[in-house]
Amino acid sequence: MDVILKYMRPVAVIGIGKTAFGAFPDRDLRSLAVEAIRHAMDDTVIAPLEVQAFYLGNFAGPSFVGQNHLAPYVGTAAGFEAIPCTRIEDACASSGSAFFHAWQSVAAGIYDVVAVAGVEKMTSQTTPRVTEILAGAGDMSGEGRAGATFPALFAMIARRHMYQYGTTREHLAAVAVKNHANGAKNPLAHMRKVITLEQAMAGKPISDPLTVYDCSLISDGAAAVILVPLDQAKRYTSRFARVLAVAQTSDHVALDTKKDITEFPAVRSAGEKAYQMAGLRPGEIDFAELHDCFTIAEIVASEDLGFVEKGQGGPFAAGGCSAIGGPKPINTSGGLKSKGHPVGATGVGQICDIVMQLRGDAGERQVARHRIGLAQNLGGSGATCVVTILEGAQ
């Protein structure tokens, strides 16, 4: 940590770009990624040949669409020439990690202009195998062999959270209702559908206690951002966002190696590192995008990041504290639940959503206090976590 702080220069996000998230049978992986990168470059007026390095987050392109070696495959199509093009895979935190490494390289003074994208194309001929492909983010030699898919793993987490802290089905459903309400107002969201608490409670069971309304979506999509040193940001735009902190940490992949499955040490340590780097306390975060791959994951993350006391994430959500009008708005984009979860795109997508709020560009979903936002991107059942804190330009 001390090593890091000694050398860093401040970094800014100067351009953001997203595709819509959804099921797009006629689109391929590369065209989605290139669309997001072009939006990000157009957002700030950067030409491809100015980009000095390219990081691409992708979880399972080879499994979903049979294409590997994705960084130069996408990078050259975006117009980047003879630069390092690197794909990073850290499960559902792939593009959060790509952002971390891109930020490091600019902060350390290695490059001045870096592009980061995340992409996943999940609807394909292999979609019937999606649960098996996603299970590869867990421990296949143990969890996988036992048939424990991700809904099953997070169902165990939810059940234990209920047992230890009194969390209820209503608490989980409240997260789904909130995120669907937010996503319904997001033109780029996958499922723009308001649901009631009754509907969420009566959802089709997936893995008890989780119903279909507790689970995120199988989506196609891409997101991209452009990073430069803060002292160069104004040359490009007045609408930049300052990166106050990024921290990536890891933990064991298998859930059965964890002491207490109701908390994720990687989320806690990434959060602590990020708060320390930013010089902020959890209470000073105005709003956040949390990794709600399942409703219980948002509840656990809100606790592990210190937004609420351990065990109180359920009542916190059910009481409206994380609604757009509440004291700590969470997942104003709709979250993975309603916006969609094209796995490799999710981390950078969260950063884009935070920057939109910081700029005051979130329309109907705009939060009142929008000076500092936090994004939390989780890989697997907590083996990787990336926490990013951003501040608006004003």
Of 7-46, binders to a second copy (CB under 8 A) are 7, 28, 30
The verdict on 249 binding a second copy (CB under 8 A) reads: yes
The verdict on 222 binding a second copy (CB under 8 A) reads: no
The verdict on 120 binding a second copy (CB under 8 A) reads: no
The verdict on 259 binding a second copy (CB under 8 A) reads: no
- Are 302 and 322 a contacting pair, CB within 8 Å? yes
**Marked catalytic residue, from 101, 180, 190, 341:** 341
Q: How far apart (Å, rounded) are the C-alpha atoms in residues 379 and 382?
A: 6
Within 8 A by CB and 6+ apart from 140, the residues are none
Query: What is the identity of the amino acid at 352?
Result: C
Looking at the DSSP bridge assignments, the partners of residue 54 are: 85, 115
Taking the complex as a whole, the smallest distance from the CB of residue 58 to a second copy amounts, in Å, to 8
Q: Which of 347, 159, 153, 343 is nearest to 252 (CA)?
A: 153
Taking the complex as a whole, the smallest distance from the CB of residue 191 to a second copy amounts, in Å, to 26
* Binding span for a second copy by CB under 8 A among 119-127, 132-140, 158-166, 327-335: 132-140
The verdict on 368 binding a second copy (CB under 8 A) reads: no
Residue ranges of alpha helices (H) inside 166-304 are 169-183, 197-201, 230-236, 265-278, 295-304
> Exactly one of 38, 63, 126, 319 binds a second copy (CB under 8 A); which one?
63
Q: Measured from the CB atom, is 330 or 348 closer to a second copy?
A: 348
The verdict on 6 binding a second copy (CB under 8 A) reads: yes
Q: Measured from the CB atom, is 15 or 61 closer to a second copy?
A: 61
Query: What is the identity of the amino acid at 117?
Result: A
Catalytic residue flag (residue 341):
yes
Taking the complex as a whole, the smallest distance from the CB of residue 8 to a second copy amounts, in Å, to 8
Within 8 A by CB and 6+ apart from 361, the residues are none
* Binding span for a second copy by CB under 8 A among 97-105, 168-176, 184-192, 203-211: 97-105
Taking the complex as a whole, the smallest distance from the CB of residue 315 to a second copy amounts, in Å, to 29
- Are 363 and 221 a contacting pair, CB within 8 Å? no
> Exactly one of 17, 22, 118, 138 binds a second copy (CB under 8 A); which one?
138
* Binding span for a second copy by CB under 8 A among 15-23, 89-97, 158-166, 359-367: 89-97
Within 8 A by CB and 6+ apart from 298, the residues are 175, 179, 290, 291, 292, 313, 317, 322, 330, 331, 335
Strand pairing report for 372-379 and 287-289: parallel
> Exactly one of 111, 126, 197, 258 binds a second copy (CB under 8 A); which one?
111
Q: Is residue 369 helix, strand or coil? A: coil
The verdict on 91 binding a second copy (CB under 8 A) reads: yes
The verdict on 72 binding a second copy (CB under 8 A) reads: yes
The verdict on 275 binding a second copy (CB under 8 A) reads: no
Q: Which of 356, 317, 24 is nearest to 190 (CA)?
A: 24
Cis status of the peptide bond prior to 25, with omega within 30 of 0:
no
Q: Which of 35, 37, 52 is nearest to 229 (CA)?
A: 52
Q: Measured from the CB atom, is 26 or 198 closer to a second copy?
A: 26
> Exactly one of 311, 340, 373, 379 binds a second copy (CB under 8 A); which one?
379
Q: How far apart (Å, rounded) are the C-alpha atoms in residues 267 and 54?
A: 26
Catalytic residue flag (residue 92):
yes
Residues serving a catalytic function are 92, 341
Contact residues for a second copy, defined by CB under 8 A: 3-4, 6-7, 28, 30, 52, 59-60, 62-63, 65-73, 75-76, 80, 82-91, 97, 100-101, 104-105, 108-112, 132-133, 136-141, 144, 248-253, 257, 265-266, 269, 379-380, 383-384
